[in-house]
Amino acid sequence: MINEHETDRDPVARTRRAFAYKLFFQQGVLPFNASLNDYFLAVSAALRDRMQGLYINSMAALRESKSRIVCYFSAEFLMGPQLENNLLSLGLADEFARAAEESGLDLQQIIAHEEEPGLGNGGLGRLAACYLDSLATLEIPAIGYGIRYEFGMFDQAIDNGWQREMSDRWLQPGNPWEFKKPDFAVEVGFGGHTESWFDEAGRYRVRWTPGTVVKGIPYDTPIPGYRVHTVNTLRLWSAEAPKSFDFADFNVGDYFGAVEEKIHAENITKVLYPNDEQFQGKALRLRQQYFFVACSLRDMIRLHLLQHPNLDNFHEHFAVQLNDTHPAIAVPELLRLLIDLHGYDWERAWAITTATFHYTNHTLLPEALEKWPVHLLGDLLPRHLEIILEINSRFLDEVQSRFPEDADLPRRVSIIDETNDRSVRMAHLACVACQRINGVAALHTRLLMERTLADFHRIWTDKLVNITNGVTPRRWLLLSNPGLSELIGEVAGTGWPTDLDRLCELAPLAENADFRARWRAVKRANKERLAHTLQERTGVVLDPAALFDIQVKRIHEYKRQHLNVLHIITLYNRLRRDPGLEIVPRAFIFGGKAAPGYFLAKRIIRLINGVAEVVNNDPIVDGRLRVAFYPDFNVKNAHQVYPAADLSEQISTAGKEASGTGNMKFAMNGALTIGTLDGANVEIREAVGADNFFLFGLRVEEVEALWAAGYRPRTLYEENPELREAMDLIASGSFSGGDRDLFRPLVDNLLDHDPFLVLADYQAYVDCQQQVETAFRDPERWTAMAIRTVSRMGRFSSDRSIAEYCEQVWRVGPAPVPLRYEHMPREGVVFPWPGQPSET
Ligand code: F58
């Protein structure tokens, strides 16, 4: 029994008591019948209570904020597990660990139990999560707005080498972090028709009468900054049928009709679309997009009108960042609200709208750009289509008058693509209506300026800026690599997680043999941990002394996992030719999901697993090569992967990867990179120094020249014996149990088309891997390179990225949260406290 008086003075005892209370009163169980999930929910609830005082103060500050609030609009937030991250942010990790231990609980086991909310596909969604962490840590008032998908990214299993998708029931065990806010529900219309008339003042007015209405309910997740008082909000919308219409239908006897409507409404936020980098013009996807931005803008207007009499200064109160074009329908929506509902004329509404929005582009792949068929958009959002056409007509008038000499320019920049089926180019809409457009790495931004968005860059020379991506060092170093963090802390002091440039203090220690030995010990322990997990989950046994060569990311042809596979097969063939060959033992580790409908990506997964099966079991190889596919790569699994890597594979075709962020996570954790000059690799190489980076492959300009000259991959195959041997081995059925058809589509595609120049970069890649091998043979040299790499990774903290957005895009600064309210209602405080329920 814990003495109640003791607990007031002893925080550990108080936390122990909180665990017990939550278990008893919230979970309704006692220790003898509590499940691990009960303990997880109880511990999380205890932590949530400790955050609540700061959260309430932050929300109060936000409601009264005089400084600009950043609203990050994103269809995806890939947050990862919250418990351990929140413990670190709030500085409660030690206290909770001791409380757990003294209660006979294993905090690590409880932490490991948490299911992550997989509400994103990959880089774009994870970037949004890193940015929320940095916004809060930099004390910027901010709200993340998005969708509360009932089913997030599918869970991946590997069956006989094939990917199998399983639905992600992340909400099933209960989500301890969210607060449902039914009071702030809003209604969103779809379909229907518009009517126009002239009002008493003779002004042209439009009224939209939607065909159906859906209710959006917000769920708030607190986002605590690291060791600051700011706790921002991630507000995710869930769709429900409005009460009114099921009752109405029920009364006239159409029970099934009513239920159908309800299901139709709730379908909107049912599931995340799992395809990355491939646009799919599905009506439900557009409904999702409109649903969440309409809810979010209504919410912002509510907040604004708490403080201001009208929307004249809306843009001074809020800066909205559009995370790609998925939320770009917000542009006509804000115009509609201002004009149709709040009575603004077009010019005023346009001025407010264009001063509010900013757009981040995340891709150079033409197939990823969103283009909605005009008829689809018009059916779903008739008023928005009218507004888009009006934006376009005014824009094209301006273009024509400013650039009369370029007669083709209006066609090229038009928001409406008039070819075939007319469609709305969402990137053009975003470019026209946003104050700033940014690319996500220097090379990417240059290519946007010179190619994809060159016309827009000519029209508005100052609009496009570069903001290189970053990742949060709290999750991607402090949380996931405690061993390295401790070493860094000894050298760089305790402040490094919020001042990552301090990593530079590691540089001189690259010359210190003792330090290198300690560094290697940390890496070794991380590799042992990953090896252990992989053995458990795949049965593949890895030697922690081997070179851990890792490629984890979505499976896509442009990311070229198959180039990596060709290298493995090449090494395998060398060993078969000469079993006594001296090679550095390597563990090749892959992870990543393929879009369920992406045929070739799924074959690539099958190929990796086929090669693993053969190579891992061939006695000639004798364990010198090992291949493992880590199933279900997600944020949680990633925590163990980046810290365990010796070599980071960043091998996309130059000009295809906008930035990459995994490249940063690996390098921050002391992996060396083998990579092309693509995305942020360029800047990583500049930062860490060419000597510490294994560069290979065609440059963007060379890629273009090759296509212009006429690329014939088959010639390369014919003329390169090792390449031919590797390709032939795949085609022979050696990795598919003798089935020669299984990989034929992959092989034929490479020989006849090779759209991502795998064969063109093959030899350079294999040669570069030889340099990697040579370097790894000298552990002292390798370790020194790794230390130098980490010492120069400071600029890839998302804190730096967010500081740049604040200065160059949003024009906002920190607003520390004053602690005006008691952390907790004290004993003896009774309601009304501190006043009456409010209407808002
Ligand atoms: C990624 N895009 C880029 N899109 O590929 C990567 O280079 C970049 O580092 C990252 O964004 C962050 O800027 C990306 O992840 C998606 O997942 C979309 C999801 C929705 C459908 C279209 C792709």
Cβ–ligand 1 distance for 659 under 6 Å, the answer yes
Round to whole Å and give the CA distance between 521 and 607. 34
Helix, strand, or coil (residue 338): helix
Taking the alpha carbons of 353, 354, 355, 359 in that order, is the dihedral positive or negative?
A: positive
Q: Is the pTM of this model over 0.85?
A: yes
> In the annotation, is 181 catalytic?
no
Mean pLDDT to the nearest integer, 611-630: 98
Residue 364 and residue 273 in contact, taking contact as beta carbons nearer than 8 Å: no
> In the annotation, is 371 catalytic?
no
Residue 723 and residue 747 in contact, taking contact as beta carbons nearer than 8 Å: no
Q: What is the pLDDT of residue 144?
A: 99
Q: To which residue do tokens 């952390």 refer?
A: 823
CA atoms within 13 A on the CB side of 818: 4
Round to whole Å and give the CA distance between 825 and 834. 10
Joined tokens for residue 823: 């952390």
Round to whole Å and give the CA distance between 77 and 138. 19
Q: What is the pLDDT of residue 333?
A: 99
Find residue 220's DSSP bridge partners. Answer: 179, 235
Joined tokens for residue 104: 């006979």
pLDDT digits (tens, 9 = 90+) for 126-140: 999 999 999 999 999
Round to whole Å and give the CA distance between 531 and 710. 45
Mean pLDDT to the nearest integer, 697-710: 98
- Longest CA–CA separation in the chain, Å: 93
Residue 590 and residue 584 in contact, taking contact as beta carbons nearer than 8 Å: no
pLDDT band at 154 (very low <50, low <70, confident <90, very high): very high
Q: What is the pLDDT of residue 3?
A: 46
Q: What percent of the chain has pLDDT over 70?
A: 96
> In the annotation, is 665 catalytic?
yes
Residue 177 and residue 222 in contact, taking contact as beta carbons nearer than 8 Å: yes
- Residue with CA at minimum distance from ligand 1 atom 16: 276
Q: What is the pLDDT of residue 420?
A: 82
Mean pLDDT to the nearest integer, 600-607: 98
CB-neighbour burial class of residue 513 (10 A; exposed 0-12, middle 13-18, buried 19+)? exposed
pLDDT band at 148 (very low <50, low <70, confident <90, very high): very high
Give exposure, 390-418, as e/b (b: 16+ Cβ within 10 Å): ebbeebbeebeeeeeeeeebbeebbbbbe
Find residue 165's DSSP bridge partners. Answer: 156
DSSP 170: T
Round to whole Å and give the CA distance between 249 and 259. 9
Cβ–ligand 1 distance for 277 under 6 Å, the answer yes
pLDDT digits (tens, 9 = 90+) for 764-782: 999 999 999 999 999 999 9
Describe the crossing of helices 513-538 and 482-492 by its angle, rounded to 10 degrees.
160
- Among candidate residues 661, 673, 783, 789, the one labeled active-site is 661
Round to whole Å and give the CA distance between 512 and 530. 27
Joined tokens for residue 190: 């779809």
If you measure from the C-alpha of residue 18 to the centroid of ligand 1, how many angstroms do you get, rounded to a whole number? 41
Beta strands in 595-753 (DSSP E): 625-630, 647-650, 672-675, 693-695
pLDDT digits (tens, 9 = 90+) for 255-301: 777 778 788 899 999 999 998 788 988 999 999 999 999 999 999 99
Round to whole Å and give the CA distance between 422 and 444. 28
pLDDT digits (tens, 9 = 90+) for 442-468: 999 999 999 999 999 999 999 999 999
Residue 674 and residue 564 in contact, taking contact as beta carbons nearer than 8 Å: no
> Cα–Cα distances in Å, from 268 out to 215, 239, 289, 595, 604?
11, 6, 9, 20, 32
The end-to-end CA distance of the chain, in Å, is 44
pLDDT surpasses 80 at 207: yes
For residue 289, give the H/E element and its range: helix 283-307
Cβ–ligand 1 distance for 683 under 6 Å, the answer no
Helix, strand, or coil (residue 838): coil
Q: What is the mean pLDDT of the chain?
A: 95
Cβ–ligand 1 distance for 657 under 6 Å, the answer yes
CB-neighbour burial class of residue 556 (10 A; exposed 0-12, middle 13-18, buried 19+)? buried
- Among candidate residues 235, 315, 554, 656, the one labeled active-site is 554
Lowest mean pLDDT among 549-558, 763-772, 824-833: 824-833
> In the annotation, is 362 catalytic?
yes
Joined tokens for residue 538: 């795949």
CB-neighbour burial class of residue 755 (10 A; exposed 0-12, middle 13-18, buried 19+)? middle
Cβ–ligand 1 distance for 679 under 6 Å, the answer yes
DSSP 681: H
Round to whole Å and give the CA distance between 126 and 636. 12
Q: What is the pLDDT of residue 2?
A: 42
Of 73, 126, 147, 277, best ligand 1 pocket probe by most atoms within 8 Å of the beta carbon: 277
pLDDT band at 4 (very low <50, low <70, confident <90, very high): very low
Lowest mean pLDDT among 275-284, 596-605, 734-743, 762-771: 275-284
**Full DSSP string of 353-388:** HHHHEEEE-----GGGS-EEEHHHHHHH-HHHHHHH
Taking the alpha carbons of 494, 497, 498, 500 in that order, is the dihedral positive or negative?
A: positive
337's CB contacts (< 8 A; 6+ apart) are 297, 298, 301
Cβ–ligand 1 distance for 678 under 6 Å, the answer no
For residue 335, give the H/E element and its range: helix 330-336
Cβ–ligand 1 distance for 469 under 6 Å, the answer yes
pLDDT surpasses 90 at 733: yes
pLDDT band at 243 (very low <50, low <70, confident <90, very high): confident
Mean pLDDT to the nearest integer, 674-700: 98
648's CB contacts (< 8 A; 6+ apart) are 550, 662, 663, 666, 667, 671, 672, 673, 674, 675
Round to whole Å and give the CA distance between 444 and 462. 17
Cβ–ligand 1 distance for 276 under 6 Å, the answer yes
What number does the ligand 1 atom closest to the CA of 326 have?
20
Mean pLDDT to the nearest integer, 669-681: 98
Q: What is the pLDDT of residue 260?
A: 80
If you measure from the C-alpha of residue 161 to the centroid of ligand 1, how many angstroms do you get, rounded to a whole number? 26
- Residue with CA at minimum distance from ligand 1 atom 11: 124
| Backbone torsions φ then ψ of 552, nearest 5 degrees | -125, 125
> In the annotation, is 788 catalytic?
no
DSSP 305: H
Round to whole Å and give the CA distance between 809 and 575. 55
- Among candidate residues 463, 516, 665, 795, the one labeled active-site is 665
> In the annotation, is 559 catalytic?
yes
pLDDT surpasses 50 at 1: no
Describe the crossing of helices 721-731 and 758-777 by its angle, rounded to 10 degrees.
110
Q: To which residue do tokens 């104050």 refer?
A: 435
If you measure from the C-alpha of residue 574 to the centroid of ligand 1, how many angstroms do you get, rounded to a whole number? 37
pLDDT surpasses 70 at 252: no
The 3-class SS string of 473-505 reads HHHHHHHCCHHHHHHHHHHHCCCHHHCHHHHHH
- Give the residue among 223, 219, 63 at the shortest CA–CA distance from 146: 219
Mean pLDDT to the nearest integer, 313-332: 98
